[in-house]
Amino acid sequence: ARRALARLQRLPATTKDGTPVELQANLELPFELAMIAESGAHGIGLLRSEFMFMNREVAPDEDTQARIYQDIVEAMDGDPVTIRVLDWGSDKEVEALSRYLPETPEANPALGLRGIRLLLRYPALLETQLAAILRAAAHGPVRIMLPMVSVAAEVQAAREVLIRVWRRLKRRKNITLPDSLPPLGIMVETPAAALASPVLAQHADFFSIGTNDLTMYTLAADRSLPAGMKLYDPLEPAVLRLIHLTSSFAAQVGIQVSVCGELAGRPHAAPLLLGLGIRQLSMHGNTVPLVKKAIRASSLAACQRLAADALAAPSADAVRALLADAEA
């Protein structure tokens, strides 16, 4: 089985009828780098930068961050690295927030100050991180991604910060910068972002659909609902509709869209996502070969029929049954 997986690593992620799909890896902790390099992934589609801010009393400074990003960019050896700026808040270490920021805890953190909202309220945090990312971008292809976007104004404001940081860095001596600004994209993980994707496409350079949060916010259901209440399910047709909407709008205006939530790493869901118009997936490095195998066994026409049936299905369970049938 190991030999078969190693062979798979060199084969393209292409459907039986020749549709190419790009597979990338999510990186949550730096030790995963070696595994990702072995996985056959073409770059990092989601670098969750939260690890740098955990278990510390103060935020890492620009030099520290720049070194960490640069190491990752160099290890990827020319493949793109998509760095998501800090997505702090909600399920992500809310308690530690107070060590950085003078906010009182919110009654409802998932609907409160998290992701881009928090960064725009504390721009110094964002400026330091963007400066470090821009410096790392001199060493290989980098993309910058904003978490938890819900309206275009957030993208505009973040781009203004990016340009300000870029100009400031250009005046500094002894640092190397890339020739041009890296692409600035957004996570599509709120229903608002999916529904407003035609507007957001005018401000963002790429989309990446975060099905974990998109599922939670679409169904208004936390992942930690009591057992027996399985409302939280990315296969729920309402969630699939938002994925389809986003990929359709993206195709119309020619903006790149990937899926980087857990759903992207489920081999049996790959044909469904292809059928919904997705051609780029980012997942845990371990699952890249398995998803590739599923893609190589699929034909696009069958994927599109599957997606049409899933969008019209009455429930997540019904979609699961369709996926099982398609696999058999």
Residue 154 within binding range of Mg ion, rule CB under 5 A: no
Residue 191 within binding range of Mg ion, rule CB under 5 A: no
How near is the Cβ of 115 to ligand PEP at its closest, in Å? 9
Residue 210 within binding range of Mg ion, rule CB under 5 A: yes
Where on the chain is the footprint of ligand PEP (CB under 6 A)?
46, 48, 87, 189, 210-213, 260-261
Whole-angstrom Cα distance, residue 289 to residue 218?
Answer: 30
CA dist 99 → 62, 102, 114 (Å): 19, 8, 15
How near is the Cβ of 243 to ligand PEP at its closest, in Å? 11
Reduced to 3 states (helix: H, G, I; strand: E, B; else coil), residue 78 is: coil
- DSSP letter for each residue of 144-210: EEESS--SHHHHHHHHHHHHHHHHHHHT-SS----SSPPPEEEEE-SHHHHHTHHHHTTT-SEEEE-
Q: Closest CB to ligand PEP among 15 and 129? A: 129
303 is catalytic: no
> 48 touches which of Mg ion, ligand PEP, none (CB within 5 to 8 A by kind)?
ligand PEP
Quote the Cα angle for 29-290-229, to 5°. Answer: 75
| Per annotation, catalytic residue among 243, 257, 260, 323 | 260
Whole-angstrom Cα distance, residue 41 to residue 220?
Answer: 33
Residue 213 within binding range of Mg ion, rule CB under 5 A: yes
Nearest of 224, 307, 199, 210 to residue 262 by alpha carbon: 210
How near is the Cβ of 180 to ligand PEP at its closest, in Å? 27
**Binding residue per annotation — 10?**
no
> 236 touches which of Mg ion, ligand PEP, none (CB within 5 to 8 A by kind)?
none
> 42 touches which of Mg ion, ligand PEP, none (CB within 5 to 8 A by kind)?
none
Stretch that binds Mg ion, among 10-18, 165-173, 183-191, 288-296 (CB under 5 A): 183-191
Q: Work out whether strand 206-209 and strand 184-188 pair parallel, antiparallel, or are unpaired.
A: parallel
- Give me the amino acid identity at 80: P
How near is the Cβ of 216 to Mg ion at its closest, in Å? 9
CA dist 108 → 7, 90, 113, 146 (Å): 48, 8, 9, 21
Q: Which residues are annotated as a binding site?
A: 48, 84, 189, 212-213, 223
Active site residues: 260
Q: Which residues are annotated as a binding site for phosphoenolpyruvate?
A: 48, 84, 212-213, 223
List contacts with Mg ion (CB under 5 A): 189, 210, 213
